[in-house]
Structure 1
Amino acid sequence: MTEAMIIGGGSGMGFALARVLVADGKDVTIVGRSTERLTAARAELMRAGDGAVQVMRADIGREDDVAELFAGTGQVGHVVVTAADATGVYGPTTRVSVDTARDVVNTKLLGAWLVGKHAAGKVTGSLTFTSGINAYRPNGSNTIMAAANGALASLAYGLAIEMAPVRVNVVSPGWVDTPIWNQLGMDTQAVFAELAEKLPARRIGAPGDIADAFLAVMRNRFITATVLHVDGGHRLT
């Protein structure tokens, strides 16, 4: 049985989780939209440890892709969804196109719902979604993303009842150094230094910090219908 399927595992937080599991000798499946990125990620993961790594291409915003993904999968211990796309989403609501808004909702919310729908009967341990600090501290420049992230908590609560005893949770990161920042066209290191001063933790998160949070909810069999905040104290500022 595969230990974990990580949707969005080709980069960022999902890749960090896959690395930890493979280093521990676990078999994982990483899923994403880019075959090229997945192939490169697999090659790097195979150097990290003794676990086997399978790659599967799917766009979780498309039900046919999600249905096919799980139809071709045996039992899997844990499913983690980290997939996100922030292209075009930042700015005042009046400037964000409806197509962009729909893409965000399709990936972050409906995609998560589709995973829950088709993972039922295949996942045996837990299903974990990835939210974000903007759901709890919106800044006025990413409102549709904040809305989609916030809705994941309600989705998890409902699925935790429907899919029991499979546990369903949400990990909500704060500011984390991942490739998604590269879509925003800014000097990320300068921005990170400025943002770090605003946090009680006095640093930006690393993908490994979030991987540890995923592992916590995956391994603790008494955590379900819970949002685990890993934000360096951001909600207090």
Structure 2
Amino acid sequence: MTGSLQGETVLVVGRGSGIARAIVGAAAAEGAQVVAAGRNREALESAYKGTSVSVKGVDLTDEASIAALADDVGSVHHVVSTASARARGALGELSPEAILLSFHTKVVGPIMLAKHFAPEMPRTGSLVFFSGVAALEPDPGFLGVAATNGSVNVVIRSLAVELAPLRVNAISPGTVDTGAWDGLGEKKGAFLEKLSAANPARRLGTPEDIAQAVVFAMTNTFMTGVSLAVDGGQPLV
């Protein structure tokens, strides 16, 4: 712990587990006062019971909910959004509803977070959104995910210019086993083992790997408009 976020307030939007939980822990360890927000407020309250983390409810598909959160929380130094609704599936399996939910959660929602939080943020603050390796590594079954992540990479560059000197970056994780792959059922183990063996880092990512990158994005005051790959070199193979 270096105290690089001492005296600052960090809003983390996402679940009470996995990557979002690791980011909350990493920010708190650096001295930040953390506000955790998500659609399932009860789950967040259970996850952070007995800690100094404040818990709020928000639905990133509803601008009024985001505006209400901004009014409730007030000025923060950093906003981090990890929320996603993955539109996985081959082309013939994709529905407009699944694709739109993915975009609303990971692209439109973060834009609305910027709209409602940025005006009250200190100019030394930052926004950190989440892209992903699928934007750089086209793969059958991941068209919806790739389109969403690629859009995030465009959004952060545009916002970095429009909101300057407020910094806007994205983290682009590789494969991290946080339970998001449980839907593969019996195929999960073989799938993740194959990725781990082929990855130049020769392992999967961990939530802590990603949390460290988020802290870096929040505290490096000369980085903006960047989609930071934390993927073990996965797109190289």
The ranges of structure 1 where at least 4 consecutive aligned residues each deviate by more than 4 angstroms after the TM superposition are none
- Map of 1:80 onto structure 2: 80
Q: For residue 205 of structure 1, what is the aligned residue in structure 2?
A: 205
Q: Provide, for residues 87-109 of structure 1, a one-character-per-residue CA deviation record: whole Å limited to 9, x for no partner.
A: xx222122111111111111111
Show the 5 A alignment for 1:68-107: 68-86=68-86, 89-107=87-105
Alpha-carbon spacing, 1:185–1:133, altered in 2? closer, same or farther (3 Å): same
Is 1:23 aligned to residue 21 of structure 2? no
Q: SS in structure 1 opposite 2:224?
A: coil
Equivalent position of 1:49 in the other structure:
none
Q: In structure 2, how many angstroms separate the alpha carbons of the residues matched to 1:16 and 1:188?
A: 23
Match of 1:40 in 2: 46
Q: Are 1:199 and 1:233, in contact at CA under 8 Å, matched by a contact in 2?
A: yes
Structure 1, 9-18 or 58-67: larger mean CA deviation: 9-18
Q: RMSD value over aligned CA atoms?
A: 1.6
Aligned to 1:109: 107
Per-residue CA deviations over 1:11-32 (Å, capped at 9, x if unaligned) read 2211101012223442100111
Equivalent AA in structure 1 for residue 151 of structure 2: A
Whether the 8 Å CA contact 1:201–1:233 is kept in 2: the answer is yes
Unaligned runs of 5+ in 2: 1-6
Residue 187 (structure 1) shift? 4.9
Measure, in 2, the Cα distance between the counterparts of 1:140 and 1:197.
20
Gaps of 5+ in 1: 47-51
Q: Which residue identity is paired with 2:37?
A: V
- Given that residues 9 and 18 in structure 1 are in contact (C-alpha distance below 8 angstroms), is that contact kept between their aligned partners in structure 2? no
Q: Which residue of 2 aligns with 1:57?
A: 57
CA contact (8 A) 1:2 1:27 kept: yes
1:6 aligns with 2:12: yes
Q: 2:8 touches 2:31 (CA, 8 Å); kept in 1?
A: no
Size of the alignment, in residue pairs? 229
In 1: Cα distance, 2:102 partner to 2:27 partner: 29
Deviation at 1:69, TM superposition (A): 0.8
1:166 Cα shift?
A: 0.7
